[in-house]
Amino acid sequence: MENKKCPFFGICGGCKFDFTSPDYRREKLSSLPRIDFTDNPIWGNVGARRRGDFAFVDGHFGLYKPQSKDIVDITNCPNMVPEINDALKYIAKLPWHGAGSVLITKCENGIDVGVTSDVPYFGTDFRGSIEKLPPQIIRFTWNDTIIRKYTDPEIRFNDRIIKYPPYAFLQPTTETEQTLRDLVVKYIDGAGRVADLFCGLGNFTFATNATGFDIVGNGITRDLFKKPLTSSNLNQYDAIIMDPPRAGAEKQSKEIAKYNVKRVVYVSCNPTTFIRDKKILEIGGYKMTTAIPVDQFVGSAHWEIFSVFEK
Dihedral of alpha carbons 45, 54, 136, 92, sign = negative
| Whether 199 is catalytic | no
Say how far residue 33 (Cα) sits from the centre of its chain.
Answer: 19
Angle ∠(11,21,48) on CA atoms, nearest 5: 80
The catalytic residue among 12, 15, 107, 269 is: 269
Instruction: Show Cβ contacts of residue 30 under 8 Å, excluding neighbours closer than 6 positions.
Output: none
What are the φ/ψ torsions at residue 67 (nearest 5 degrees)? Answer: 55, 45
Cα distance between residue 48 and residue 179, in whole Å: 14
Question: Do the strands 51-57 and 60-64 form a parallel or antiparallel pair, or are they unpaired?
Answer: antiparallel
Catalytic residue positions? 269
